[in-house]
Amino acid sequence: MNKFTIATILGITTTATLVTLVAPAYGASLTGSLANADAIASLPFNSDGSELTFRSLSYNGGTNAAGTVIPAGGFSPVLTIFTASGSYFNEYTDVEDLNFTATLLPGNYQAVISTFGRFFDSANKTNISQGFDGSGDFFGRNANYAVDIVAVPEPSSSIGIMLAGLSAFKLKRKLVAAKKAGLDRL
């Protein structure tokens, strides 16, 4: 069973809540608003080494992993991942909403949400403490964001059960056919 931990929005709310989630229950659905187009939201999480899916719903809306309907109208996010020590890992962006999977080594990470135009200059910087560059822009959209971080369910157990059932079914058919043919043994 996959397990990872996510702490709710730091720097946006005055309190941080630590939530432990067990996948594939659903993972974590994080929502909030940036104070302005140059603000960032830091979302700490812990990976156990399993494949994780990162998905935003702020731009086009939809139903998040928790089952909450997210209205369209938010900004197109940039998601930058850092290690627990603040070292740059990778940056993800798309024209509207993000949807990607990543397999991270076990450990603590930060997913940082920013607006398009506000970015971490990984060519010249190596640590989040060096700050973000550029001026963000909501491009006429609101400051709301919605991000799901969910563990990708492992299909192996359900496939194994399905194959075992199929094998049992085929064996039963073979035994019935043998009995009809007058053979007591295979």
147 and 161 in a single domain? The answer is no
Laid out side by side, the sheet with 107-115 consists of: 18-22, 3-7, 41-47, 107-115, 77-83, 88-93
Q: Which domain holds residue 171?
A: 155-186
pLDDT at 39: 94
For residues 162 and 144, membership in a common domain is answered with no
Based on the domain organization, do 163 and 141 belong to the same domain? no
Enumerate residues 6+ apart whose C-beta is below 8 A from 19: 5, 6, 7, 8, 28
CATH number at residue 73: 2.60.120.380
pLDDT tens column, 93-125: 887 898 999 998 999 999 999 999 999 999 999
State whether 47 and 134 are in the same domain. Answer: yes
139 and 174 share one domain: no
Overall number of domains in the chain: 2
Task: Please give the model's pTM, rounded to 2 decimal places.
Answer: 0.68
With vertex at residue 133, the alpha carbon angle to CA 32 and CA 149, rounded to the nearest 5 degrees, is 35
Distance CA 81, CA 128 (A): 10
